[in-house]
Amino acid sequence: MAEKKFSAKEATEFFIKQIKEKDEEVKAFLEVFEESALEEAKRVDEILEKRENFGVLTGVPMAVKDNILIKGKEATGGSKILKGHRAEYDATVIKKLKESKVVFLGRTNMDEFAMGSSTENSAWQVTHNPNDLERVPGGTSGGSAAAVAAEMAMAALGSDTGGSIRQPASFCGVVGLKPTYGAVSRFGLIAAASSFDQIGLLTKTAEDAAIIFSAIAGKDELDSTNSVSDFGGEFEKDDFERVKSFTLGIPKELLDKDGKFKGLDLETAVEIEKSKKRLEDLGIKFKEVSMPFIEYALPCYYIMIFAEESSNLARFDGLRYGASTKENKSLFDLYLENKSAGFGEEVKRRIILGTFVLSSGYYDAYYGKAEKVRRLIKKDFKNVFSSVDAIFMPTAPTVAYKIGEKIIDPLAMYMGDIFTVTASVAGLPAVSLPTEKKENRKKLPVGFQIIGKPFHEGEILKVGMAYEK
């Protein structure tokens, strides 16, 4: 754009054309901001003409998950209960990207209130995987991942509670970054589980993720859980000498007797071994480490998020936001009708389970015990990081499964998060990287995961950039 090879308006028009041509089948977008996007692109071109106040993100067309607020735009969190709800302010990440003069193309589909693993739980539509339209894109940020994979956006914002960015990145063949908990402000994110949720990115490359992360990270007084990250994105693109001396840990508790990751389908197992070999070819070493409590990460995670989700959803009663019945009824009947009609099956399931684990007589046995396990898992990571630079593992145990294949079996769906929840429980940064370049259409995408030390996003992204080269 700076060299005037094309204008911001032309770039925006290209992606809008892509959306019109492809999204009828993919169904990644819930709304396209065609008019406002073209207006913003026109302003960007005026800035470029003056050659002042523009940076690397100026004019970049991006998509935004439906649970991140953009002032004046509808934000439903994928739920009927918020139908018609328009944001009255910008999320902090949106404010920062607006300052960088990003062009927002539209809002993407998601599992309702970020609850699910396939984007089949959206109240509005089922998103399809661009690599195979009969398969899911993953979830809950499936719309964002599909939009990037289908060339309908340069990048997209998502949110990751227990793998909601990384798993769809793996299924769709793109890069997915979950930052350290607290590295990016959650102000303006519709909450699912507040001690886990983190806004992150879906991009084409690790370098793109580093560029956008550096724009959205940092301290925000509007989010009390927010911390100052030591990563500002200031590093040379080709400086990979540090990466070549890395040692990546592999938790032995996740391995079978042959030293291979347990529970993988054949396609995933083959690709994970290939990616491990490619990293070794870069000079990176691997070391088995012991993390005795990692096997409890999945039950610990689900007990805690059910509890937090049921608490966070109490505010959605149909009276203050979104849709509501107009009939004159008692308050109890009004709540019952609004919530029964407004929430989907998966959300209702989690409300019931979350209320149970927080109830009198069960709190200590479930939520209280899960909190203790969480501390032990954090300690496991702290111990192994004294001898390794980061952790290596698969992102998901399988490739993308067919639409409808697991929706009737919630437990099978939850088991798909077995590798991603570990970083979430410990609040650590993690990036999912495609094992092969996206141009290879013969096979379904597979992703591997690098989990880093707190606020070491720069290091794990540099591993990704070295791998991509």
CA distance to 14, 127, 133, 444, per residue, from 130 (Å) = 18, 9, 6, 10
- Does residue 431 have a pLDDT over 90? yes
Which tokens go with 124?
Answer: 């509005």
Report the share of the chain in percent with pLDDT over 90. 84
Q: What is the largest CA-CA distance in the chain?
A: 70
Q: Whole-model pTM?
A: 0.95
User: How far is it, in rounded angstroms, from Cα 365 to Cα 466?
Assistant: 45
Judge contact between 420 and 430, C-beta under 8 A: yes
Is residue 360 flagged as an active site residue?
Answer: no
d(C-alpha 413, C-alpha 37), whole Å: 36
Q: 232 pLDDT exceeds 50?
A: no
Which CATH number is correct for 8-216, 3.30.2320.30, 2.60.40.10, 3.90.1300.10, 3.40.50.1220? 3.90.1300.10
CB contact at 8 A, 57 and 212:
yes
286 membership: H or E segment, kind and range: strand 285-289
pLDDT tens per residue, range 151-162: 999 999 999 999
Q: Check 9, 65, 73, 406 and give the catalytic one.
A: 65
Structure tokens at 126: 């089922």
Active site residue 164: yes
Closest CA to 271 of 354, 365, 173: 173
Compute the chain's Rg from CA coordinates. Answer: 21
Domain positions in the chain are 8-216
For 14, the enclosing helix (H) or strand (E) is helix 8-26
Split at pLDDT 50, 70, 90, the class of 53 is confident
Among candidates 205, 206, 286, which has minimal Cα distance to 246?
Answer: 286
pLDDT in tens, 291-327: 999 999 999 999 999 999 999 998 888 777 766 666 6
Average pLDDT over residues 410-418: 93
Q: Which of 79, 122, 164, 185 is catalytic?
A: 164
Counting Cα atoms < 13 Å in the Cβ hemisphere of 7 gives: 14
DSSP symbols for 160-229: ESSSTTHHHHHHHTSEEEEPPTTTB--TTBPPSSTTT-EEEEEESSHHHHHHHHHHHBS--TT-TT----
**Span between the terminal Cα atoms of the chain, in Å:** 24
